[in-house]
Amino acid sequence: MRSDVTLRPLDRALLMALLRTAVEDADPAEVMPPVPGPGGWTPGRRAAFVRFHESRSLAAEPVESTFAVVVGERVVGAARLCPLGTAAGAVEAGVWIGRSHRGRGVGGAVVRGLLERARGSGFDTLFLRTTPDNTAVRALAAGIGVELVQEGDAATAWVDLTAEAR
C-alpha cells in the first residue's frame, strides 16, 4: 500500500496544477463531462474544465468535495466525493489518475483515502459507478472487497462503510 499518496482539498492553486496535469497526461473524456466542439484540449475545453471545478467544489455552496491527488509534491490526478441527494447517508466517489502514473497503486491508495474521508464525514455508504468495460475500476473495487454489478448501462457498487474497516 503506497504511503506517498495524499488527498488535498482543491483550492485555486491546486486547480491550476490539476488543469496542467489533465492537459499533459489525460484525455478530456476521462476527466470532465463532454463539451461540444473539436476534440482535444482546446482553449474552450480548458476553460470548461476550470469552470466545472469552480462550480462544483469551489462555489459558496459546493455540491461535492474535490481533492487533488498528490504524490510527493506532484499533482497526478483528482478524486471526489459527491453526496447523493437520492440516497440518505450515501456519497458517490470518483477518481482519475494521469496516464503516466497509472498501474502503480495510486488509484488503490486514493480509494482507501476516499473511504476514510467518507466515513469520517459521517456517510454510511459509498457509491461507485463506471462503465461496464472499465476493468481498472473493477480491480479497484475488488481491492476493497466489493464487486461491481450491472445496473442499466453502468457498473455500480454500494460499499457499506459501517462494516468492518476495509
Ligand X SMILES: CC(C)(COP(=O)(O)OP(=O)(O)OC[C@H]1O[C@@H](n2cnc3c(N)ncnc32)[C@H](O)[C@@H]1OP(=O)(O)O)[C@@H](O)C(=O)NCCC(=O)NCCS
Q: Is 30 in the site for ligand X (CB under 6 A)?
A: yes
Asked if residue 125 binds ligand X (CB under 6 A), the reply is no
**Of the candidates 142, 65, 72, which has an alpha carbon nearest to the alpha carbon of residue 101?**
72
Does residue number 103 form part of the binding site for ligand X (CB under 6 A)?
Answer: yes
**Amino acid in position 110:** V
Among 49, 96, 123, 127, binds ligand X (CB under 6 A): 96
Q: Which stretch binds ligand X (CB under 6 A): 16-24, 39-47, 118-126, 139-147?
A: 139-147
CA–CA gap between residue 97 and residue 140 (Å, rounded):
13
Nearer to ligand X, 12 or 142 (CB): 142
Query: Residue numbers of the site for ligand X (CB under 6 A)?
Result: 30, 94-97, 102-108, 130, 134-137, 139-140, 143
